[in-house]
Structure 1
């Protein structure tokens, strides 16, 4: 199977162009048409075998996750997905792999109304790179720099299951079958919170998605906003599976686990009910887990209000 047959067979979907995509696959460039009064939001993520995913992952789940981690960036900015571009390096043109990968990729794309508008394929180590493009009304994109002292700190969904699954794969922990299937699903099939991000436009003061661990990612918001934060550890949302683990493991998974792709965001206390209403409209659970303060730094409090002695940092591809 050659490169162009591969593209035609697995990735060139015939039919009318999606909103915002005037011309997609088939020309040297895609032709995109932004909605009047909107701004483009663009993000790129790369997934490398052995670094971002295990060789044992099912192709369909890899296709899902490759797009999900990019859609999560759009979600953090409150954007509406429009188009994405796929650069795919493959050791060989394996039809079984490509069928599963494309199935997972397009199932999520269709669920969010986003179109594949172009890309590239080549022979090489397995590497998936996706660039997404979305839109938000002029001046309404959620950014990292808007948090203010006194804001409430919120988290969507639950945290830590993906890291717990990784520890099982590493052999440092064991779980019964159903519990492992649950946390493995969190690791391999994250759900980008696109509807929540859109619902929070005009309500949240800042937002980021949790990809490299809560403390590290929240730290980006604090630095960009010039503030600090206090987190109530007991308030952090976790699954029953993670809640059944020892405290040290819970702390590591919840605070530094990464691969959660939930949103952490801030909002004024006056917007408390508006946040609740936005989450209900989006069908996404949220929980208030702390507050933003004037003093720089990030502290995590135990149930008695005492700071925990923690030394967790954000994941770094060149240090980990």
Structure 2
């Protein structure tokens, strides 16, 4: 059975001005249940991740500042909202959800976290609404527990996975692949194992051609036994922050290319949802739900 991590705290609490894009965390499971793509038993609610697993990835001093809510005003501005105990708990549950999803993926081929994809969090910083890097922590968990030996992280959010690249810059067992807007946030890029910077306005055909070429390259170079996929839908033409021009159908085709490759290679894949900031919440939710619909067709 395909398992999906979800908890009510994913959508709450966030400061005024940040609540609209977070509605998707409530609406995605509601829509999937309503249409019959999933049943209640597909969903599970994660607890908070243990501190020792965080410290496999993040600096002890940085984690201490998060835990005790002592980040400076400048550091909080870099994250994008004021720090609170509930926001830290939210991140802890997201991270544990991704870890449990990775275990489920090894059993069932694929598993999803309705949130996650917090790829701007580096080893000793938070940034861009990201406090802890869920997929990086999970990758180090798998390596530490000898549940994987070579890992590929496929990051197709429109923003570079700078935190993920920084965390694994000296870790040869983790291959980071980021295909992102060249002139988009973060404006100081890190160096992934494979970066594919895109010009503003890239459309469907060019994007999908570049993905097919570079995804093949990433698999050939990494030879993974586990895959993480960050499936942000901020690549859509309707996205307020994305600067690309992809249709919803191309976004779905993007997911198919990644997930079909994992399926064909018999590789487990954990999927975190990443960003999405279209003006109409229906565009965000439908594009994310397409990823689930596709996975249930491919892996069931």
Same fold (TM over 0.5): no
Q: TM-score when scaled to structure 1? A: 0.28
Structure whose residues are more often strand by fraction: 1
Larger radius of gyration: 1
TM-score by length of 2: 0.29
Q: Which has the higher contact order (CA 8 A, sep 6+)?
A: 1
